Amino acid sequence: MQEKIVILDFGSQTTQLIGRRIRELNIYSEIIPYNKYPFGKEKEEGIIGVILSGSPLSVYDKDSFKIDIKALMGTLPVLGICYGAQLTAYELGGCVESAPSREYGRANLDFIDKSCPLFKGIDMGAQVWMSHGDTITSIPDGFKCIASTPSVKFAAFSGPEEDKIWGVQFHPEVFHSTCGTHLLRNFAVDICGASCSWNPESFIESTVAELKEKLGQDRVILGLSGGVDSSVAAVLLNKAIGDRLTCIFVDHGMLRKDEFSSVLRDYQGLGLNVIGVDASDKFFADLAGVTDPEKKRKIIGADFIEVFDAEAHKIKDAKWLAQGTIYPDCIESLSITGTVIKSHHNVGGLPEKMNLKLCEPLRLLFKDEVRAVGRALGMPEHLISRHPFPGPGLAVRILGEVTREKVGILQEADHIFIQGLRDWGLYDKVWQAGVILLPVQSVGVMGDERTYERAVALRAVTSTDAMTADWAHLPYDFMSRVSNDIINKVRGVNRVCYDISSKPPATIEWE
Ligand code: XMP
């Protein structure tokens, strides 16, 4: 059984970060809703320690999330963070009060109990990040204060030795807590006894073994998109069940220039059993005359399901549908209220329609972990480090009606931009880039001739998760070169703009 640290999610925005920090220590961690803790099954689940996350709520809120702290204590080491610490103190007889003003920002520890294993190797003055409205004003009987800042006496506390319980008012998972990783390592390694053996190789080994057992001799179908997640999922499954995996790669006609053929070649080179389906005529026919963004997306989604379903039915005895769903697709803050898992937006609806069981081997990994697994599987770097690309493809980057002619123009412009980013060593510095074909024409002059042609917008953003994004500050020399190349080489375009909107309030895609 995979040893793990469980993080109970009470709804904080930084819960995911706690999970990441633990995994960065090569310790497997899992985030679960606060009310889904498997009491009594810790051993069989491989749990070696528990972290209680922060929360936007106060322990005094009528609907605040509660857990039976006493039932947790003494079985495994427990660390409460912010709300997790307040809840611990409150439930065990300490006092939590609303602070006169929310304490937010950096603070320095001016007292540390050097004998406490949680603070081993952490020096006085260490910087921590505070973000709390309530504050702990007294700790339960038998507990002791193990760290303070000038304004927060109980910045950290510990329970009696046999109870193995600690609490920190600050957020060790946040980058600005400079001693945070050290503290989490003290907890996970020294206190919980984690062996730090979780890495891409061990993930592959255990996942392949699990897949073999779960899938047996069954046949599996997987929809490939050309993106990192579905590609890594396919290679992993291929390693587990070989030819019993059939991949379907649908070309809706709105992929990037030459993408269908080159990605198909890559997949075949990886030894995947892949069927490429050119369904572009159907998609273009159904999109004819449609200008509304949502209608376009709906048509593409429905066509995709129809084409995929028809292909899948040709594969006899398929029992499973595999998807490249990853962790951020699964963890939603809503999950703590019981509404879980958003469906993968490219193939949402497929499993119910097809009556197949769902297999999601990457559902517990973050994007960069998926990439690390891909590398460990020996996949080519250009497949692994690809920018995200929307399921509906260039259709959402052509404002207005989508036609083959417009896709052709956009593919050329997009190719110049993306190749340029690669040539200038900028591709890996941005999260995602592309070109948008605008529904406007403007006057220009080429040689002695007046032109009246289309305008395109370049979009390049930096981001860590696509939830928020900033426009990439690309060098002027590069932009100038790309603009010249597009106007000189792409027939039908005489103007290039750069989109300098951040998300929010804009989104990354224009439609
Ligand atoms: P927005 O435009 O909402 O996009 O800021 C956030 C991220 O999601 C991608 N995106 C999609 N990906 N199917 C996908 O697989 C889609 O329908 C879709 N729409 C947007 C977008 O490219 C960005 O990375």
DSSP letters for 285-334: HHHTT---HHHHHHHHHHHHHHHHHHHHHTSTTEEEEE----HHHH--GG
Tokens coding 181:
């990783």
Residue nearest to atom 11 of ligand 1 (CA): 390
Alpha helices (H) along 46-158 = 69-72, 83-91
Residue nearest to atom 17 of ligand 1 (CA): 391
Give the pLDDT confidence score for residue 350 in this predicted structure: 66
Report how far residue 476's alpha carbon sits from residue 425's, in angstroms, rounded to the nearest whole number: 14
Residue to mutate, 297, 509, 510, 511, ligand 1, most ligand atoms under 8 Å from C-beta: 509
Q: Which residues have CB under 8 Å from 506's CB, separation 6+?
A: 499
Beta-sheet strand order (sheet of 318-322): 274-278, 245-251, 219-224, 318-322, 357-359
Please state, in angstroms and as integers, the Cα–Cα distance from residue 434 to each residue in 63, 170, 265, following that order.
45, 40, 23
Q: Look up residue 94 and give its amino acid.
A: G
Give the pLDDT confidence score for residue 343 in this predicted structure: 37
- What is the per-residue DSSP string for 251-284? E-S-SSTTHHHHHHHHHHHTT--EEEEE-HHHHH
Whether ligand 1 lies within 6 angstroms of the CB of 230 is answered as no
HSE at residue 80, side-chain half, CA atoms within 13 A, is 30
Tens digit of pLDDT at every position of the chain (511 positions): 789 999 999 999 889 889 989 999 999 999 999 999 999 999 999 999 999 999 999 999 988 999 999 999 988 999 999 999 999 999 999 999 988 777 889 999 999 999 999 999 999 999 999 998 899 999 999 999 999 999 999 999 999 999 999 999 999 999 889 999 999 999 999 999 999 999 999 999 999 999 999 999 999 999 999 999 999 999 999 999 999 999 999 999 999 999 999 999 999 999 999 999 999 999 999 999 999 999 999 999 999 999 999 999 999 899 999 999 888 776 543 455 444 333 334 445 566 667 899 999 999 898 889 999 999 999 999 999 999 999 999 999 999 999 999 999 999 999 999 999 999 999 999 999 999 999 999 999 988 899 999 999 999 999 987 878 999 999 999 999 999 999 999 999 999 999 999 988 999 999 9
Strand partners, 127: 108
Coil, strand or helix: which one is 394?
A: helix
DSSP state of 224: E
Report how far residue 230's alpha carbon sits from residue 253's, in angstroms, rounded to the nearest whole number: 19
Report how far residue 339's alpha carbon sits from residue 107's, in angstroms, rounded to the nearest whole number: 36
For 22-32, give one letter per residue: b (16+ CB within 10 A) or e: bbebbbbbbbb
Ligand 1 centre from 342 Cα, in Å? Answer: 14
Report how far residue 440's alpha carbon sits from residue 455's, in angstroms, rounded to the nearest whole number: 6
Does residue 82 have an active-site annotation? yes
Tokens coding 109:
């520890």
Please provide the size of the chain in residues.
Answer: 511
Give the pLDDT confidence score for residue 307 in this predicted structure: 95
Task: Tell me how far apart the terminal alpha carbons of the chain are, to the nearest angstrom.
Answer: 45
Among the atoms of ligand 1, which is closest to the Cα of residue 507? 5
Report how far residue 62's alpha carbon sits from residue 58's, in angstroms, rounded to the nearest whole number: 9
Task: State the catalytic residue, choosing from 3, 91, 173, 311.
Answer: 173
Among the atoms of ligand 1, which is closest to the Cα of residue 509? 2
Confidence (pTM): 0.81
Does residue 171 have an active-site annotation? yes
The answer to whether 90 and 96 have CB atoms below 8 angstroms apart is yes
Give the pLDDT confidence score for residue 99 in this predicted structure: 80
Strand partners, 133: none
Task: State the catalytic residue, choosing from 82, 179, 192, 247.
Answer: 82
Report how far residue 225's alpha carbon sits from residue 315's, in angstroms, rounded to the nearest whole number: 19
Q: Which residues have CB under 8 Å from 361's CB, separation 6+?
A: 207, 211, 233, 236, 237, 322
Ligand 1 centre from 343 Cα, in Å? Answer: 14
DSSP state of 343: P
Ligand 1 centre from 466 Cα, in Å? Answer: 8
Report how far residue 342's alpha carbon sits from residue 389's, in angstroms, rounded to the nearest whole number: 19
Give the pLDDT confidence score for residue 303 in this predicted structure: 95
